[in-house]
Amino acid sequence: EAYKALLEVDMQERKIKETQGYTQAYIVSLLFPPLGVYYFFKYLFFANGTNEDIKAGVISLVLTVVVIVLSVWAFAGLLQQLSPAGPSQSIDLLKKTVAPENAKELIKLYR
């Protein structure tokens, strides 16, 4: 009976270690997205092949893809906000300052 208890404790410790590994994979996938692909291959092809391993690998890949897409989307939005006025706005501004009416008024002012 003591042997069964030790065996059960050992199995529970292994489960805890596995879930800690999965949690680490998820955190790395969120914070450093390209590294999530490593955990995808690790758990899908090189682990024991249990359902939990496959699930952890797929979740790591999904988290990686989602974070990369969100990062690209946020970066594109930032670039749009930081870029100067678009070409059509610049051309309109140029036309207003160089229009013949304005030129005539400027000539009158200089005289």
pLDDT tens digit string along 64-104?
999 999 999 898 888 877 766 555 666 666 666 666 666 67
**N- to C-terminal Cα separation, the chain:** 111
Characterise 96 by phi-psi region: left (phi > 0), alpha (psi -120 to 50), beta (else): alpha
The whole-number pLDDT of residue 63 equals 93
- Between the alpha carbon of residue 10 and those of residues 3, 15, 32, 106, the distances in Å are 10, 9, 32, 90
pLDDT tens digit string along 10-63?
777 777 666 677 888 889 889 988 888 988 988 888 877 788 888 889 999 999
109 pLDDT higher than 80: no
